[in-house]
Structure 1
Amino acid sequence: MAEPSGAQRSASSARAVLAVAVVAIVGLIVFVQRPAGDTAPAATPDPSDTSDTSGFAQPDEVPDGQPSGPTTPPFTGKVAVPTDEEFCAEFRRVDDLQRTYSRGRADTDDLREAAQALVETGVPAAVSLPARSGYYTLIGGLYDFVGLGLDPAAVGAPDAFVATGEEAFAAYLTQSCGL
């Protein structure tokens, strides 16, 4: 079996570095955009307080390790299962739009619509449970940034944070999307 050429190894390394860089940039955006008091422990709700009748968790009630922000109703549907190609095309669209936004050439509404379209596309069967956790961290951070909330179940992610999730999702992006 022939060994890969230096150019092939270099291209593979560059794609892996790019995927990790994308994850790191989105993580940094999430970290910088969080309000200062966002990491405080959740307060116990007062049963006699009737000021919030929505029934949805408020931002300060979101467990640590999950993106916070305006919450949406709990996800009760099924996560669509697109092909890798369909998912990767939508992911690239969001990635390109984020770059455009960072240069001041797109607005938050465009970014919000692209993020929602990516989640609506679903998650390919090839994305492992740890990788789904990493994907949730990434897309949940983007949802926070555009003023939305995201239920982990909407992307098939576990409720509990998975420490290796970001690396697993970066590996998926490298292998399946060529990022």
Structure 2
Amino acid sequence: MSGAHRQVGRPVALLVLLMMGVLAVVLLARPGEDAATAPSADPAGSSTAPPSVLSTPAEEEFCAGFRKLAAAQSEYAAAPDARAVELLRDAADELVGLGVPETMTLPARGGYHTVLEGIYASIGMSLDRSAVGALDEPGANDDAAFSSYLSQYCPA
């Protein structure tokens, strides 16, 4: 493996590990209430994220949105106050609204949904699998497929 390839691989692996670690923190730190009984973060009372129109952004645009979400998630994990909840929800809503690149496979979309659903659940909301074009039932390799997608298209 060349030195240049190894240098790119490490940041990608670190980004994937960071996202998985932050997701674990968010899931473990969330209150014991379920999404159906959790108070809504939306003043209008909605406890479901807006559905995506499933546009097809370029990978660079998707990755920039995903990095913004990762930053908002880190801030929320550090201090889960009302401002952090708002920033996290806004970043997640923007990313869902952006759509999914054509290059993201169905299994990767399932893993992407797992990440987003964990984020929304941490703030008392939910996200339908169809909002990101994922199949109705999760697959055994969805999370690995999404990690692989991030490694290939969203290098750190």
Question: Does the TM-score normalized on the shorter chain lie above 0.5?
Answer: yes
Partners of 1:24 and 1:166 lie apart in 2 by 13
- Identify if the C-alpha distance between structure 1 residues 31 and 165 changes in structure 2 by more than 3 Å, giving closer, same or farther: farther
Please tell me whether residue 103 in structure 1 is matched to residue 78 in structure 2: yes
Alignment length, in residue pairs?
146
- Identify if the C-alpha distance between structure 1 residues 127 and 152 changes in structure 2 by more than 3 Å, giving closer, same or farther: same
Q: Which residue of 2 is the match for residue 161 of structure 1?
A: 138
Which stretches in structure 2 are left out of the alignment for 5+ residues? 38-45
Q: Which residue of 1 is the match for residue 13 of structure 2?
A: 16
Matches within 5 A, 1:123-134: 123-134=100-111
Which one of the candidate residues 63, 80, 86 is aligned to 1:88?
63
TM-score, structure 1 as length reference: 0.70
Higher relative contact order (CA 8 A, sep 6+): 2
Q: Which residue of 2 is the match for residue 33 of structure 1?
A: 30
Partners of 2:130 and 2:7 lie apart in 1 by 37
Runs of 4+ in structure 1 displaced over 2 angstroms?
27-36, 70-75, 100-106
Which stretches in structure 1 are left out of the alignment for 5+ residues? 39-57, 61-69
Partners of 2:131 and 2:98 lie apart in 1 by 11
Q: Which residue of 1 is the match for residue 43 of structure 2?
A: none
The structure whose residues are more often helix, as a share, is 2
Whether contact under 8 Å (1:33, 1:145) holds in the other structure is: yes
Partners of 2:119 and 2:49 lie apart in 1 by 18
Which one has the largest radius of gyration?
1
Identity of aligned pairs, percent? 34
Which one of the candidate residues 117, 129, 135 is aligned to 1:152?
129
- Identify if the C-alpha distance between structure 1 residues 165 and 31 changes in structure 2 by more than 3 Å, giving closer, same or farther: farther
TM-score, structure 2 as length reference: 0.79
Instruction: Name the SS for the 1:79 alignment partner.
Output: coil
